[in-house]
């Protein structure tokens, strides 16, 4: 079973946050120097002055300015500051004929939020996926274009617990009428093929946390005795992307929406409704200039005789899991080269990751 060594939902200590912010500032500074032959373009100095002015603005002043620019005025003060800074950054860089941020790495995002069998106060429960939703977002038009949604029949624990029914809203008769997971997965992949995903269009899976891919899908594939799908081995953890981009603590789904000035639409713990709301957050991130890229992956170990393949969650951006701790720099470089990310900016992203690793090492 997958092991997750992460602190989702935990507040970051102020000292650690300041140190992390300082490291990333150095990364962006080195990147700017690299992109401009060792000299920082004057436009970045102008942007630094603009950012200073924005930092001194009140919430009302920020909303008034955003309204004047016909931009979204919803969200906390941190969100408003980030939105206004990104607007000026894009405008100034385009005027200076420097490549502006905000271009999406992928053509589409597939937002997935499984619901699985569960039992109250039982962390070792053998989960089986009972709801399989997928929401397709076009990164260029920044809107939802299609949805896939089916229920699955559990086999190991065919009777849903009272706790599971109450949490998910899924009733016994719904799963009794459903097909088993392998058949549903096959239809979902046919749905992906109908949109030419991975053929004509690049895409990335988006989840709210690491558990959907590293725990639920991994356990389900093992119990169903099927191969783990290749498209699920790397994904975007929206919580990490959100906290990193807006420089805030790690938040859950509802907290992220509230921080953006949005309200949850639908019923919580309904897989389809959760996926739709995660899609709203992803679209807002794109609108605010964030380039969403894969930040977690599942390393599937070779299967031993008589057992199925097991995996462990690896964090692409931090490089601090136990799997990475004893690696030399050369091994990390080789690992990055072997990843083969579906990204138009592969070399540039990996250079940033290596710079970040060097900063951590020192």
Is 269 in the active site? yes
Q: Based on the number of CB atoms within 10 Å of its own CB, is 117 exposed (0-12), middle (13-18) or buried (19 or more)? A: buried
Cα separation, 203 vs 343, in Å, equals 9
Q: Count of CB atoms within 10 A of residue 278's CB?
A: 24
- Angstrom CA distances, 331 to 198, 312, 318, stand at 28, 18, 16
Q: Which residues are paired to 296 by β-bridges? A: 235, 315
Burial category of 148 from C-beta neighbours within 10 Å (exposed 0-12, middle 13-18, buried 19 and up): buried
What is the secondary structure of 317-328 as a DSSP string? TT--SHHHHT--
Give the whole-angstrom CA distance, residue 147 versus residue 333. 38
DSSP string, 40-83: --HHHHHHHHHHHHHHT--HHHHHHHHHHTT----S-HHHHHHH
Residue 218 and residue 225 in contact, taking contact as beta carbons nearer than 8 Å: no
The torsion of the CA quartet 87, 90, 91, 95, rounded to 10 degrees, works out to: 170
Structure tokens at 249: 């603590």
With H, G, I as helix, E, B as strand and everything else as coil, classify residue 333: helix
Hey, what are 90's tokens? 């894009």
User: 234 Cβ partners below 8 Å, 6+ apart?
Assistant: 204, 205, 294, 296, 297, 298, 316, 339, 341, 342
Answer yes or no: 115 catalytic.
Answer: yes
Catalytic residue among 149, 269, 299, 324: 269
Indicate which residue of 87, 115, 127, 131 is catalytic.
115
Q: Distance (Å, rounded) from C-alpha 217 to C-alpha 296?
A: 15
User: Pairing state of beta strands 115-116 and 203-207?
Assistant: unpaired
- How far does CA 63 lie from the centroid of its chain? 28
Q: So which residues are the catalytic ones?
A: 115, 269
């Amino acid at each position: 079973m997958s092991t997750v060594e992460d602190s989702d939902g935990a507040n970051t200590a102020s000292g650690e946050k300041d140190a992390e912010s300082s490291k990333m500032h150095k990364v962006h500074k080195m990147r700017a120097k690299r992109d401009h032959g060792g000299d920082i373009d004057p436009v970045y100095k102008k942007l630094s002055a603009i950012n200073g002015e924005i930092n001194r603005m009140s919430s009302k002043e920020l909303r008034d300015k955003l309204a004047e620019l016909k931009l979204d005025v919803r969200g906390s003060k941190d969100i408003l500051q980030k939105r206004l800074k990104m607007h000026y950054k894009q405008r100034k860089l385009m005027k200076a004929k420097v490549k502006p941020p905000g271009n999406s790495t992928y053509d589409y995002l597939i937002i997935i939020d499984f619901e699985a069998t569960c039992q109250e106060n039982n962390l070792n429960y053998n989960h089986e996926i009972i709801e399989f939703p997928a929401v397709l977002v076009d990164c260029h038009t920044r809107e939802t274009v299609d949805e896939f949604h089916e229920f699955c029949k559990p086999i190991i624990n065919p009777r849903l617990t009272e706790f599971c029914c109450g949490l998910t809203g899924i009733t016994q008769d719904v799963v009794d009428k459903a097909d088993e997971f392998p058949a549903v997965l096959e239809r979902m992949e046919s749905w992906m093929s109908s949109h030419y995903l991975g053929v004509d269009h690049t895409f990335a899976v988006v989840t709210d946390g690491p558990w959907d891919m590293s725990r639920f899908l991994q356990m389900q594939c093992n119990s169903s005795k099927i191969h783990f799908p290749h498209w699920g081995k790397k994904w975007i953890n929206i919580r990490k992307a959100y906290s990193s981009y807006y420089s805030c603590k790690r938040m859950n789904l509802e907290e992220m929406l509230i921080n953006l000035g949005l309200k949850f639409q639908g019923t919580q713990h309904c897989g389809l409704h959760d996926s739709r709301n995660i899609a709203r957050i992803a679209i807002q991130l794109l609108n605010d200039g964030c380039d969403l890229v894969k930040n977690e992956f599942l390393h599937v170990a070779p299967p031993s005789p008589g057992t199925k393949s097991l995996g462990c969650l690896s964090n692409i951006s931090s490089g601090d899991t136990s799997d990475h701790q004893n690696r030399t720099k050369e091994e990390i470089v080789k690992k990055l080269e072997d990843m083969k990310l579906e990204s138009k900016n592969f070399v540039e992203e990996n250079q940033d990751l290596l710079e970040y690793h060097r900063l951590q090492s020192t």
